[in-house]
Amino acid sequence: MRYAAALMGLFLMTFAVASADAAEPLSKRFAEPTGEAAPSFRRHVVPLMSHLGCSGRACHGSFQGRGGFQLSLFGYDFKKDHAALIGKTTSEDSDAKEFPTRINAKDPDESLILLKPTLGEKHGGKQVISEDAWEYNLIRRWIAAGAKMDVEATGTFDRLTVEPSEIVFDRPGQKVQLRVIAHWADGTVEDVTEISRFRTNDESIAQISEEGLVESKTKGDTHVVAFYDNGVAPVPVMLPVSKLVGSKHPKVDTRTKVDELVVQKLRKVGIVPSGVADDATFLRRVRLDLTGSLPTAAEARAFLDDKSKDKRARKIDELLKTPEYAAWWTTKFNDWTGASATQVSDRNFRTEQARQWYDWVNKRIAQNKPYDEIVAGIVLATSRTSPDQDYEAYATEMSSYVKAEGAADFAERPNMPHYWARRNMRQPEERALSFSYAFLGVRLQCAQCHKHPFDQWTQQDFKQFQAFFEPIYFGTPRADRDAYNKMQNELNKSVGYDPKNRNAKNAAQKRREMYEETKRRALAGEPIPWQELQVQPLKKLTAKEREQLIKRKGKKYAGRVITPRVLGGDEMVSAQYDDPRAPLMDWLRHENPYFAKAFVNRVWANHFGRGIVEPADDLNLANPPSNAALFDYLADGFVASGYDMRWLHREILNSDTYQRDWRTNDTNELDESNFSRAMVRRIHGEVVADAIRIATFADDKAAEFVSNIEYRTIGPSAGYGRYGRNAPGAYAANLFGKPVRETTCDCERTTDPTLLQTIFMRNDQEVLASIDGKDGWVASLRPQRKGSVKDDPRYKKRAAELKERLKKAPKKDQARLKASYKRQLDYYARELAKPSGGIRDDVNVDRLIEDVFLRTVARYPSADERKLAKQTIDESESQLDGVRDLLWAMLNTKEFIVNH
């Protein structure tokens, strides 16, 4: 034991420094070509090559390498990089290629790894280092010491810290040098500034050199980020936009904790927030954000006329209990989880299964079930609703949900398995990516192939996380394959289809008949061969089982026998987990740094137009929150509330921060990340489609439409219901950026303006039909005809004239003239039946002008707007034409199409 301890002590001494010497930079420690301390491959050589750009995407880190020499991108596959340097292969395959060596242990100065970057030999790139540089000495001393691979000996990387932890500049052009400190689990502390990588998140505000020198450019705030080994450390950097900082900042009311934390940050950066918005702006904003719905004219009038002080809080509580709130947040939730009729499993019942998905989530959001409980119902879902349910009973149950008459309610199921049955989520890596995106707000795509450039995730992390999803399978039931095949064979036989003879002359027709018969039976509630979700127990392989698996799969499979491990956490392999998804769900609920924050950030992004972390689905260490204290408060509070989604909405919406005006002042006109003002943003595609109808429907029809989610575009109608893609509003929703739910990215939903959107609002038949339709508000203003057209004095007079003329006509012409006069009378009756351009006697023009503004922009018109509107109506051919034109004009204003 004493010998082992002494050996370890000697080994640690060979590393560059102990904590007491952390201040000495590498350039001093390796200033000489020789010395007692040998550099570490992991701690020094690999980070140095990354810092110099050798393992970058444009050099040897590219997938094809450069000049026959390839390094892992960003340098975190230590085994591969060491093998590439010393000229050995990392593969157990005897046929694998051996790499030419890049080092010369006998004469380190003749090593290619030194000759190439100094241009001692021809190098495809530029000169990177010189022979008298400390970087040259570091690599040379590592080679001279034996070019050892020391990853296991160096142990675990603990954390990265940066000094200073925050930079507040006084003026543009000012510079501050960062100092990056690496902390290792064995207690070693090193200054690694000179071998770290750096980047700025906004170079217009602050720039950072390769050496970590930060320079202020313009007013504002951002982060600079240091990268070393597996550490990522962001540093807030700011140049206050005004002199109103600290004690000079004006007093701002902070009614809520959210306001307190937001103003705390504004005080640092010298930003004075805008005032609180008026009631009309608040109502329209909260209606659109919380329910995806425009307020009706009646609702807007009632709210604006209400003088009570607590009406905003009461309105928020009222909206949280509406069907449209549940509909809109079901749609948002299904965006994240990928509920798409084109991706669900069964080709015969895609629309029905997508609708089942919608109904299951909608029911729970309407009941305000805890967010973690809803997620658990998806993550831990099973196809069979009880362990003892046999396959035939399962098949019968599934058919019961699609029965044409008296279908069972899928929403009553305890869980929802369609998430795992998505056609674009059949491979383990696809499931890992979807899971991390949907429930963690983390993008792992980069880590599939290499070390994530901006986060801690390595390819090994991804593989270990992916291992959780290996035992998940959706398709033909394995244990009940005979029962499945028996049903399928009976179906084939019933229509004379032979799947073994697919090239037969009538095979295609018989296959279509088989599909039609399958659907007919399911619609009748009869069992058909349904596929199902199956999950194998999570099990750690013994050494013998691992050996047998490798023998069965081949040597190349050895690297794929991976122990599941949660991201940033521990290995999760225990007999206590029969389902590999169970440890994942436990991890989400306990000590998970992403689960609550991902939902909080998406809710905040919905209400403000950007997340506390932006993009909202990209939580990574190099993309820190703009207000970390605020983010932590909301996430902690959300968890403490029992994952109560309504608590989160109330906490945000009741704040002055949410209710601020969109109008700016001198200090916040450029602020987009500190929430000092409301951001003007285009409303979402589904909301646009519904808003047109709410604004143009008659009062009673609009009130009914808002809460009848069956026909709402924000609800199940577009893409789910019986109309599918032909649903009213579906075209507008897609045109204005409704996501198709085929990729793992919030960026599928867009709010970018296009010329086609403008043309649609001005000329499309869908918009014009909404304005002029029989259920429209304009039609409801016309006077109602009393009695039959034939009782109209004008009709009677015309009929009498023609009758008298017929009497005087020659007898031979009377038959012909009688038919002609009848046609003339019918035409005249139709003309009389046409609506007049007048307006009902019980309404006045001033009230109608108010109604146009209330139903489109939820406010009363200003005096100038009222005057101009009245002038427009007076100059029209009729008052009704004038009101119609005013409504069309308001629908085409920027104020209508944006949320402010």
pLDDT of residue 5: 40
Structure tokens of 706?
């808002």
Structure tokens of 108?
């380190």
pLDDT of residue 572: 56
Which whole number is the average pLDDT over 844-848?
A: 92
Q: How confident is the model at residue 745 (pLDDT cuts 50, 70, 90)?
A: confident
Number of Cβ within 10 Å of residue 251's Cβ equals 6
Which whole number is the average pLDDT over 764-787?
A: 87
The mean pLDDT value of the chain amounts to 87
Which whole number is the average pLDDT over 704-714?
A: 92
Structure tokens of 768?
């014009």
The residues near 673 (Cβ < 8 Å, ≥ 6 apart) are 221, 610, 614, 626
Model confidence pLDDT, tens digit, residues 475-484: 888 888 999 9
Domain boundaries of the chain, sorted by first residue: 4-236, 344-439+454-589, 789-833
The residues near 725 (Cβ < 8 Å, ≥ 6 apart) are 718, 719
Percent of the chain clearing pLDDT 70 (strictly above): 88
Q: Write out the DSSP string of 791-827.
A: GSHHHHHHHHHHHHHHHHS-GGGHHHHHHHHHHHHHH
pLDDT of residue 553: 46
In DSSP terms, 246 is beta-bridged to none
Model confidence pLDDT, tens digit, residues 211-270: 999 999 999 999 999 999 888 999 999 999 999 999 999 999 999 999 999 999 999 999
Which of 276, 409, 305, 278 shows the shortest CA–CA distance to 355? 409
Lowest mean pLDDT among 147-156, 315-324, 509-518, 546-555: 546-555
Model confidence pLDDT, tens digit, residues 167-196: 999 999 999 999 999 999 999 999 999 999
Percent of the chain clearing pLDDT 90 (strictly above): 59
Task: Give the integer Cα–Cα distance in Å for 762 and 752.
Answer: 18
Task: Give the integer Cα–Cα distance in Å for 839 and 879.
Answer: 7
Per-residue b or e along 800-836, where b marks 16 or more CB atoms closer than 10 Å to that residue's CB: eebeeeeeeeeeeeeeeeeeebeeebeebbeeeeeee
Lowest mean pLDDT among 62-66, 128-132, 643-647: 62-66
Helices (H) and strands (E) in the chain, counts: 36, 14
pLDDT of residue 836: 61
pLDDT at residue 288 is higher than 70 = yes
Per-residue b or e along 498-513, where b marks 16 or more CB atoms closer than 10 Å to that residue's CB: eeeeeeeeeeeebbeb
pLDDT at residue 560 is higher than 50 = no
Against a cut of 0.85, is the pTM above it? yes
Lowest mean pLDDT among 184-188, 336-340, 379-383, 827-831: 827-831
Judge contact between 48 and 192, C-beta under 8 A. no
Judge contact between 729 and 689, C-beta under 8 A. yes
Task: Give the integer Cα–Cα distance in Å for 33 and 206.
Answer: 36
pLDDT of residue 42: 94
pLDDT of residue 12: 35
pLDDT of residue 347: 67
pLDDT of residue 883: 94
Q: Which residue has the higher pLDDT, 722 or 242?
A: 242
Which whole number is the average pLDDT over 860-884?
A: 94
Which of 196, 79, 123 shows the shortest CA–CA distance to 71? 79
pLDDT at residue 494 is higher than 60 = yes
Which whole number is the average pLDDT over 599-617?
A: 96
Which of 384, 639, 180, 395 shows the shortest CA–CA distance to 647? 639
Q: Which residue has the higher pLDDT, 205 or 23?
A: 205
Which whole number is the average pLDDT over 298-312?
A: 97
Which whole number is the average pLDDT over 117-135?
A: 88
pLDDT at residue 720 is higher than 80 = no
pLDDT of residue 88: 66
pLDDT of residue 10: 37
Task: Give the integer Cα–Cα distance in Å for 661 and 278.
Answer: 8
State whether the Cα torsion 597-602-603-605 is positive or negative. positive
Lowest mean pLDDT among 19-33, 497-511, 621-635: 19-33
pLDDT of residue 3: 35
Task: Give the integer Cα–Cα distance in Å for 468 and 463.
Answer: 9
pLDDT of residue 326: 97
pLDDT of residue 564: 57
Q: Which residue has the higher pLDDT, 574 or 802?
A: 802
pLDDT of residue 300: 97
Task: Give the integer Cα–Cα distance in Å for 814 and 360.
Answer: 72
Q: Within the chain, what is the greatest distance between any pair of CA atoms?
A: 138
pLDDT of residue 550: 46
Q: How confident is the model at residue 764 (pLDDT cuts 50, 70, 90)?
A: very high
Task: Give the integer Cα–Cα distance in Å for 356 and 337.
Answer: 14
* 213-216 vs 220-228, strand pairing mode: unpaired
pLDDT of residue 544: 62
pLDDT of residue 22: 56
Judge contact between 627 and 633, C-beta under 8 A. no
Model confidence pLDDT, tens digit, residues 57-90: 788 877 777 878 888 877 778 888 898 898 865 4
Q: How confident is the model at residue 662 (pLDDT cuts 50, 70, 90)?
A: very high
Judge contact between 857 and 695, C-beta under 8 A. no
pLDDT of residue 818: 84
Residues shown for the chain: 900
Task: Give the integer Cα–Cα distance in Å for 574 and 563.
Answer: 11
pLDDT of residue 333: 95
pLDDT at residue 792 is higher than 80 = no
pLDDT of residue 726: 63
Structure tokens of 883?
């009101």
pLDDT of residue 778: 93
Return contacts of 421-427, CB within 8 angstroms, 24+ apart. Answer: 421/344, 421/345, 421/353, 421/474, 421/531, 421/533, 422/338, 422/340, 422/343, 422/344, 422/345, 423/342, 423/343, 423/344, 423/345, 424/338, 424/343, 424/742, 425/338, 425/343, 426/474
pLDDT at residue 648 is higher than 60 = yes
